[in-house]
């Protein structure tokens, strides 16, 4: 990253506040610095403490200047109308995730209003982390009449405990959550995964309507060179890089290291046969690879996704430009603006 | 409710395009009597009153919610018209008595005359208020936007004071309010003489229904005269702050208001393809690679060029929703004003042409003299600190403005009738 000119430090100090020059190197612009300082101040004034406010503000700015993510310092991140609790050891929800979760929710609500079935919509979120995806889907469904039944799975005990806290933290906004959402610890690579899920947590022969996942998708070399310092140093590697998977397991899939979770999740999808699958990816190239993996299942497993789409970073509330591309002779609709962010698969012609 | 039929050519005060003759402004603030009602208005009152009698008779036989609603709507006009008729009849009786040959009789009549005259003017006033169509936004919640006028930081500091004044006023009155936007300018460090921050732009939403009617008279230029903190020679400076009052949709947008958004006839309708949405942040990697905190959004309504930017919240989603809210409100207000402009042009043939323009001040806050003056209502109030605390004194100022607004609405209504009469005569003569 280019070095900031000294004059901008001087302006931050003079025009914003002496502590602003601490934030500037991580925030990069004066505007962003002013915003972060305001949020830090608001946080300090909202959370009473015996330590004087001035000292707490200075301490938080000092930690931020070392690259600690703002969301860990303020302990929350807004996600739609929800306030998601953030703790070290669990990935912070991203804005792109928020955008496509809203988009998915609008797809679900328009399709559920056209179908007359009264059985609840079953949602399975793999690699759930804070639980932000199912919690937001459930929150959006509160206004509509449709019932949801959500299950979030994560390998990390910290993530599962935080997801449960997030459930109770946001109960006022999603009163139905206590009965319609569960968070369970589990390793999706475990050979017994699908049978256990069915045996223990899903109603008999339940059909899964939506399978969502934002799995670790960064290769070890990209992790070293392409991630922001505050991500690399402060967020859990387990959530970002798929190298926790034993090599004998990943070898079985014969794909790139960073794609191994998609291979496994598509395999699970082949067993559970969800109507829709929503997978977050690192960018356009990975999106294309995941689309190809899904298409390959048609021959190997007979899984036919009638609709395949790629969604870009900003997809919710962004006008549809009518973009499309072709992969292996199949027309793929491309929605939104920015880099490729989601591969959307559907067995329904919606 | 929002699709306004053309007959509602009501005149509302809004500074952006207000145009009342100043002679009228002065008169209206003191006027206690509404001069003789134009025949057209009386005719309308008579028709409505007859309708009310009919409906009441019908309701006595068999109750029906729709009929009851309509009867309720026109009850005030009917009641006022009856009072008016009574006073009129009493007056003509007194007048004939005054011509009597009996001196004692004449004296008695003379004694009653004053009372009856007052009754007549009270009832004609009540009648014209009842006939004045309600502003189409009157029942809605509102957004109060505060923007410093051109000039130095003093205006920005005072903008903060004005914003806090309305915030405190809402609290004192028990109105529910919410800060939608509160943006300071770059020099956050500096503080004004009363410890204010330098405000760039702020928006307060008052969620109670009817807030639009309550606050609409606050729209306009507010002027401050005081000695700034930075002033070393003790000189008084004058700066200005603009306040805009916009209609807003109720919080938990019910299905009916949501459908207003989708209804192209509605003032609040915006074609989504007319709006450009920009994220104000450096592009680059996204997703898991970074944990950005930038959440600013800017919306531009291409046909009107209206832009709204929002960066208060850490959530991009919340910023986008707030920006849409403000954009809808601004556009609805603009459309409304454009229609009022048409009505005013018709009226201007009747009312004189001295125009009050957007830049004219409506109110002055003078610290040295401990005084708050409303220039339209023509009233002075002391105890400025209480005004700025949003206390009862501000309530009195606003009450005076409400009276003023009601008077000007009536005058506009009368002028509309006169203009329509002229137009129809012209049309007849033209034939
Ligand atoms: C990128 S984070 C996604 C968190 C959350 N869904 C979100 O969008 O913010 C990936 C998550 O996958 C979990 N994870 C990693 N390996 C896993 C495995 N083998 N089985 C289940 N979850 C796993 C990590 O603990 C982490 O919480």
Per DSSP, the residues of B146-194 read EEE-SSSHHHHHHHHHHHHHHHHHHHHHT--EEEEEEEE-S--S---TT
Chain B residues in contact with A15 by the CB 8 A cut-off are 186-189
- Position B222 scores a pLDDT of 95
- Residues of chain B that touch chain A, judged by Cβ-Cβ distance less than 8 Å: 184, 186-189, 272-273, 277, 279-283, 285-296, 311, 313-318, 320
ipTM exceeding 0.85, yes/no: yes
Which of A1, A2, A18, A35 should one mutate to test binding to chain B, selecting the residue with the greatest count of B CBs within 10 A?
A: A35
DSSP state of A133: H
Q: Rounded distance, CA A312 to CA A294, Å?
A: 18
User: What is the domain-level CATH number for residue B278?
Assistant: 3.30.160.20
Work out the number of other CB atoms within 10 angstroms of the CB of residue A168. 11
Q: Which of B291, B294, B296 sits opposite A94 (nearest CB)?
A: B291
A75-99: buried (b, 16+ CB within 10 Å) or exposed (e) per residue? ebbbbbbbbbbbeebbbbbbbbbbb
Distance from CA of B146 to the nearest CA of A (A): 20
Q: Which residue has the higher pLDDT, B319 or B100?
A: B319
Q: Do B288 and A91 touch (CB under 8 A)?
A: yes
Please report residues of B whose CB lies closer than 8 A to that of A102. 317
Q: DSSP code of B372?
A: E
Domain that holds residue B113: 32-131
C-alpha to C-alpha distance for A166 and B332, rounded to whole angstroms:
39
Nearest-by-CA chain B residue for A318: B277
Distance A280 CA to ligand 1 centre (A): 11
Tell me the shortest Cα–Cα distance from A113 to chain B, in angstroms. 15
Has residue B164 got a pLDDT over 50? yes
Of A27, A35, A228, the CB nearest to B289: A228
Q: Is the pLDDT of residue A222 over 80?
A: yes
Residues A29 and A12: their CA atoms lie apart, in Å, by 9
**Domain presence at residue B292:** yes
The residues pairing with B239 across neighbouring beta strands, listed in sequence order, are B224
Mean pLDDT of chain B, nearest integer: 80
Q: Rounded to the nearest whole angstrom, what is the distance from the C-alpha of residue A72 to the centroid of ligand 1? A: 18
| Structural domain contains residue B329 | yes
* CA separation for the pair B21, B348 (Å, rounded): 9
User: Length of chain B, please?
Assistant: 431
CA B221 to chain CA centroid, Å, is: 14
Ligand 1 mutation pick, A99, A137, A154, A219, max ligand atoms within 8 A of CB: A154
Q: What is the mean pLDDT of residues B138-146?
A: 91
Residue B255 confidence class, pLDDT cut points 50, 70, 90 = very low
What is the rounded CA–CA span in Å between residue A16 and residue A20?
6
Sign of dihedral through CA atoms B216, B25, B222, B299?
positive
CB of B119 closer than 8 Å to CB of B87:
yes
Where a domain ends, among B346, B368, B390? B346
Q: Mind listing the pLDDT tens digit for each residue in B167-206?
A: 999 999 999 999 999 988 755 556 666 667 888 899 999 9
d(CA B135, CA B2): 10
- For residue B6, the model assigns a pLDDT of 31
Residues of B with CB below 8 A from A36's CB?
A: 293
CA atoms within 13 A of residue A35's CA, in its CB half-sphere: 24
Measured CA to CA in angstroms, residue A327 lies from A257, A298, A310, B203, B266 at distances of 22, 14, 11, 48, 44
Could you tell me if A41 and A32 are in contact, meaning their C-beta atoms sit under 8 angstroms apart?
no
pLDDT above 70 as % of chain B: 80
Q: Which of A155, A181, A227 to mutate to test the pocket of ligand 1 (most atoms within 8 A of CB)?
A: A155
Angle (deg, nearest 10), helices B392-430 and B316-347: 50
Percent of chain A with pLDDT over 70: 95
Flag whether B379 is in a domain.
no
What are the Cα distances from residue B427, in Å, to B40, B349, B414, B415, B420?
A: 17, 15, 20, 18, 10
Helix B392-430 to helix B153-173 angle (10° resolution) is 100
Residue B96 lies in a domain: yes
The pair phi, psi for residue A244, each rounded to 5°, is -80, -15
The Cα–Cα gap between A245 and A237 comes to 12
**pLDDT value at position A236?**
97
Least confident of A94-98, B104-108, B369-373, B414-418: B414-418
Q: Which of A162-171, A229-238, B313-322 has the lowest mean pLDDT?
A: B313-322
Residue A129 Cα distances to A198, A227, A286, angstroms: 21, 19, 21
Q: Are B253 and B321 in contact (CB under 8 A)?
A: no
Handedness of CA B311, B314, B316, B320 (dihedral sign): negative
Helices (H), chain A: 6-11, 20-27, 30-46, 53-65, 70-74, 95-114, 132-141, 157-169, 177-180, 193-196, 220-226, 229-234, 237-240, 247-253, 260-272, 284-300
For residue B282, the distance in angstroms to the closest alpha carbon of chain A comes to 10
Alpha carbon of A76 to those of A91, A190, A195, B249: distances in Å? 12, 32, 35, 29
Over residues A75-106, the pLDDT tens digits come to 999 999 999 999 999 999 999 999 999 999 99
Q: Is the separation of the CB atoms in B156 and B102 below 8 Å?
A: no
pLDDT at A118 over 90: no
In Å, what is the CA distance from B51 to each residue of B8, B72, B80? 20, 11, 14
pLDDT on residue A204:
60
Q: Is residue B107 part of a domain?
A: yes
In this complex, which of B277, B283, B292 lies closest to A95 when CB atoms are compared? B292
Q: Between helices A260-272 and A284-300, what is the axis angle to 10°? A: 40
Yes or no, beta carbons of B294 and A35 under 8 Å apart: yes
Is pLDDT above 90 for B271?
no
Residue B10: pLDDT over 70? no
Say yes or no for a CB contact (<8 Å) between B291 and A69: yes
Residue A200's DSSP bridge partners are: none
Distances (CA, A) of B251 to B206, B286, B325: 10, 33, 10
Residue B334 lies inside a defined structural domain of this protein: yes
CA A278 / ligand 1 centre spacing (Å): 14
Q: What is the largest CA-CA distance in chain A?
A: 66
Q: Which 3 state secondary structure label does DSSP give A132?
A: helix
To the nearest whole Å, the CA of A299 is away from the closest chain B CA by 31
Q: Looking at residues A219-229, what average pLDDT do you find?
A: 93
Question: Is a pLDDT exceeding 50 seen at residue B16?
Answer: no
What's the whole-number mean pLDDT along residues B320-344? 85
> What is the pLDDT, as a whole number, of residue B277?
86
pLDDT in tens, A312-349: 998 887 777 889 999 998 999 999 989 999 999 999 88
Residue B89: CB atoms within 10 A of its CB come to 11
Q: Is A341 helix (H, G, I), strand (E, B) or coil?
A: strand
CB-based contact B417:B346 (threshold 8 Å) = no
Between A146 and A24, where is the model more confident? A24
Beta carbons within 8 Å of A296's beta carbon, 6+ residues apart: none
Q: How confident is the model at residue B283 (pLDDT cuts 50, 70, 90)?
A: low
pLDDT tens, position by position, B17-53: 333 333 333 333 333 444 567 777 888 889 999 999 9
Q: Give the pocket of ligand 1 (CB within 6 Å).
A: A 91, 93, 97, 127-130, 132-133, 153-156, 159, 187-189, 214-216, 238-239, 244; B 288
The domain made up of A95-346 has a fold known as Rossmann fold (3.40.50)
A125 beta partners: A152, A212
State the total domains in chain B. Answer: 2
How far is it, in rounded angstroms, from Cα A266 to Cα A308? 14
For chain A, give every domain's residue range: 6-66, 95-346
Q: Between the CA atoms of B284, B288, B294 and B296, what dihedral angle is there, to the nearest 10 degrees?
A: 80
Predicted local confidence at residue B415, as pLDDT: 79
End position of a domain, from candidates B107, B131, B155: B131
Over residues B86-107, mean pLDDT = 87
| A228 Cβ contact list (under 8 Å, min separation 6) | B285, B289, B290, B291
Determine the residue of A239, A242, A244, A281 to mutate for testing ligand 1's pocket, defined as the one with the most ligand atoms within 8 A of the Cβ atom: A239
Q: Quick check: is B166 in a domain?
A: no
What is the per-residue pLDDT across B368-410, written as a single tens digit (0 to 9) for each?
999 999 998 899 999 999 999 999 999 999 999 988 888 888 7
What pLDDT score was predicted for residue B9?
28
End residue of a domain, out of B305, B324, B346: B346
């Amino acid at each position: 990253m280019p070095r900031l000119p000294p004059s901008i430090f001087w302006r931050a100090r003079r025009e914003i506040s002496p502590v602003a020059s601490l934030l500037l190197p991580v925030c990069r612009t004066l505007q962003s610095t002013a915003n972060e300082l305001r949020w830090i101040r608001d946080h300090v004034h909202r959370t009473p403490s015996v330590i004087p406010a001035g000292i707490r503000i200075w301490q938080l700015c000092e930690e931020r200047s070392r690259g600690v993510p703002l969301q860990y310092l303020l302990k929350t991140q807004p996600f739609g109308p929800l306030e998601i609790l953030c703790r070290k050891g669990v990935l912070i929800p991203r804005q792109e995730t928020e955008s496509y979760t809203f988009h998915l929710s609008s797809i679900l609500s328009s399709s559920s209003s056209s179908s007359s079935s009264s059985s609840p919509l079953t949602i399975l979120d793999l690699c759930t982390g804070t639980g932000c995806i199912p919690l937001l889907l459930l929150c959006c469904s509160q206004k509509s009449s449709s019932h949801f039944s959500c299950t979030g799975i994560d390998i990390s005990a910290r993530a599962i405990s935080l997801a449960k806290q997030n459930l109770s933290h946001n109960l006022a906004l999603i009163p139905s959550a206590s009965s319609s959402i569960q968070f369970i610890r589990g390793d999706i690579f475990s050979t017994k995964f699908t049978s256990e899920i069915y045996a223990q947590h899903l109603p008999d022969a339940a059909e899964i309507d939506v399978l969502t996942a934002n799995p670790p998708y960064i290769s070890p070399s990209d992790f070293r060179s392409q991630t922001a310092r505050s991500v690399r140093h402060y967020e859990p590697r387990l959530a970002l890089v798929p190298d926790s998977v034993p090599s004998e397991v990943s070898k079985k899939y014969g794909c790139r290291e960073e794609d191994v979770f998609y291979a496994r999740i598509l395999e699970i999808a082949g067993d559970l046969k969800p109507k829709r699958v929503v997978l977050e990816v690192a960018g356009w190239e990975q999106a294309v690879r995941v689309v190809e993996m899904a298409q390959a299942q048609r021959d190997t497993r007979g899984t036919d996704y009638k609709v395949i789409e790629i969604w870009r970073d900003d997809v919710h509330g962004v006008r549809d430009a009518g973009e499309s591309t072709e992969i292996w002779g199949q027309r793929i609709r491309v929605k939104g603006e920015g880099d490729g962010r989601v591969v959307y698969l559907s067995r329904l012609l919606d | 409710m929002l699709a306004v039929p053309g007959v509602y050519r009501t005149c509302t005060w809004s500074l952006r395009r207000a145009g009342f003759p100043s002679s009228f402004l002065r008169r209206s603030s003191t006027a206690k009597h509404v001069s003789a009602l134009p025949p057209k208005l009386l005719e309308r009152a008579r028709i409505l009153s007859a309708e009310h009698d009919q409906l009441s008779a019908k309701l006595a036989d068999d109750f029906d919610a729709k009929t009851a609603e309509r009867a309720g709507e026109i009850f005030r006009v009917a009641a006022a018209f009856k009072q008016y008729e009574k006073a009129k009849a009493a007056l003509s009786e007194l007048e004939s008595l005054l011509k009597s040959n009996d001196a004692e009789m004449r004296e008695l009549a003379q004694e009653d005359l004053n009372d009856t005259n007052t009754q007549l003017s009270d009832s004609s006033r009540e009648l014209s208020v009842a006939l004045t169509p309600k502003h189409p936004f009157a029942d809605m919640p509102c957004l109060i936007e505060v923007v410093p006028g051109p000039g130095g930081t003093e205006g920005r500091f005072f903008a903060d004071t004005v914003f806090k004044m309305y915030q405190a006023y809402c609290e004192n009155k028990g109105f529910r309010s919410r800060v939608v936007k509160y943006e300071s300018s770059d020099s956050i460090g500096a503080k004004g003489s009363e410890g204010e921050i330098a405000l760039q732009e702020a928006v307060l939403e008052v969620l109670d229904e009817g807030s639009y009617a309550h606050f609409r008279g606050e729209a306009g230029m507010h002027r401050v005269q005081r000695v700034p903190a930075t002033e070393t020679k003790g000189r008084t400076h004058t700066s200005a702050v603009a306040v805009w009052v916009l209609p807003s949709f109720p919080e938990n947008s019910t299905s009916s208001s949501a459908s207003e958004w989708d209804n192209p006839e509605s003032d609040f309708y915006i074609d989504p393809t007319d709006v450009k949405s920009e994220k104000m942040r450096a592009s680059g990697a996204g997703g898991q690679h970074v944990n950005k905190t930038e959440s600013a959004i800017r919306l531009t309504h291409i046909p009107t060029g209206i832009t709204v930017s929002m960066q208060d919240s850490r959530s991009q989603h919340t910023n986008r929703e707030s920006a849409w809210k403000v954009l809808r409100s601004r556009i609805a207000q603009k459309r409304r004003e454009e229609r009022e402009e048409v009505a005013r042009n018709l009226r201007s043939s009747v009312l004189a042409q001295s125009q009050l323009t957007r830049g004219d001040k409506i109110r002055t806050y003078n610290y040295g003299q401990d005084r708050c003056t409303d220039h339209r209502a023509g009233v002075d109030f002391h105890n400025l600190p209480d005004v700025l605390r949003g206390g009862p004194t501000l309530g009195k100022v606003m009450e005076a403005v409400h009276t003023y607004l009601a008077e000007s609405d009536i005058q506009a209504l009368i002028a509309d009738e006169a203009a329509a009469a002229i137009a129809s005569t012209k049309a007849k003569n033209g034939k």
